[in-house]
Amino acid sequence: MSDKAILGKGAVLKLSDGGPTTTAPVNARYTLSTTGTVSSGSFQLNFSAPSSIVGPTAAIPWNATPAQVEQALINTPGIQQGDVYVAGGPFPGTPITIDFQRNLGATVVTMTGIGTGLAGSTPALVVTQTIAGVVGTEVFATIAELRAVPMPQRQGARLEVTTHDSPGYLREYVSGLDDIPAAAFQINWLPNHPTHDENTGLLYLQRTKFIRRFKLYLPPGVQPQKVFTFPAQVLQFNPTVPIDNVMQAEVQLQPTAAPSIGSV
């Protein structure tokens, strides 16, 4: 890792072809049930994959509702709001299902249970994987002749809530919802290139309004190299044909979700 400035040259922007994937992505699902008779106590859920989830969960009541199980999962490092959908229950009479989605969708998830805290007549917690998670594969093409790269980022907001009761002589604010502004970049326009043209490229996406996934790779000087992955719509494709310079186009992307950041 360097503490010096890094030259920006060498960044790469890739575009998904949006076609059928080689392997279809599948979200993992687990079912929780019990054997014996459970009359009190608690249980926990633990994970060995993906490594981003740091379990186990906090203790979950023996008669938990889906909302209680979901909250215990969300409180576990590595699981965010919206990453799980819990249904069924209440426990232990009715099994509970856990679907992994959003950031944990199309991911290999390995979840186990810790039922030693349950009490009753030979109680046991049973954790069954009913649908195995599968990481789908996509085909990404490098966008040709990239001159500048888009860096989509979340943009925070604050809302004024000043009242006559606000302390002192300062305005009072609370945090508002984040936004993801559009991001622009430039290319040397190659009208017949498959990543630029009206058949499969950026111009095609601007005309059809389709949403595709993009991958932005930072320059190799960044070690480990970082990659930003995000879905986006091409809002504008504005080419210019100057008399004494190369043909160029400015492209504006509107991300439809916050980028995920990983390492190559």
pLDDT digits (tens, 9 = 90+) for 58-101: 999 999 999 999 999 999 999 999 899 999 999 999 999 999 99
For the chain, give percent helix, strand, coil, nearest 5: 5, 40, 50
Q: What is the pLDDT of residues 141-193, one digit of tens each?
A: 999 999 988 888 888 899 999 999 998 889 999 999 989 999 999 999 999 99
pTM to 2 decimal places: 0.57
Mean pLDDT of the residues in the chain: 91
pLDDT tens digits for range 207-246: 999 988 899 999 988 888 899 999 999 999 999 999 999 9
**pLDDT surpasses 70 at 194:** yes
Q: How do beta strands 12-16 and 211-217 pair?
A: antiparallel
At residue 131, does pLDDT exceed 90? yes
* pLDDT exceeds 80 at position 118: yes
Higher pLDDT, 212 or 126: 126
* pLDDT the model gives residue 22: 55
pLDDT the model gives residue 7: 79
Q: Does the pLDDT at position 130 exceed 70?
A: yes
> d(Cα 43, Cα 227) in Å, to the nearest integer?
38
Tens digit of each residue's pLDDT (9 = 90 or more) over 3-47? 678 877 888 999 988 765 556 678 999 999 999 999 999 999 999
Whose structure tokens read 């299902």? 97
pLDDT of residue 19: 60
